[in-house]
Amino acid sequence: MDFRLIRNISMVFLGLFFLVFLMPTQEKTRNYVKEEVTKESYNGIVIKKYIDKSNHATPTVILKDGRELSFIGNIYDKINVGDSIVKFSGDIKMFIYRAGNKIELDNRDYYVW
């Protein structure tokens, strides 16, 4: 068989594989992340920020009560040590309280849905 024919057939098969198997998986992942972010609830003062290298370099904050929260997207950059952060279960928004100011963040602006 001609090499170009084999290559073209392989490219078509690879494209079909991507459309059939990988595209639905990405949608399921987005829906899962959205559900999990909506379910989350936290309230506390940030005492430390770091990149968790042992967990795929995940941006992480530690609250005063010892709870560790991981953030994907740019929300991590908006949070400072000393901020109070609040997020209620069932709501997509979170709030940062800093120096008497209330900053509202909508997770839809920071996560890729």
Smallest Cα–Cα separation from 30: which of 58, 69, 61, 72?
72
Dist CA 86 CA 39 (whole Å): 13
What pTM, to 2 d.p., does this model score?
0.71
Domain residue extents for the chain: 40-109
pLDDT digits (tens, 9 = 90+) for 3-52: 788 888 888 888 877 766 666 666 777 777 778 888 999 999 999 999 99
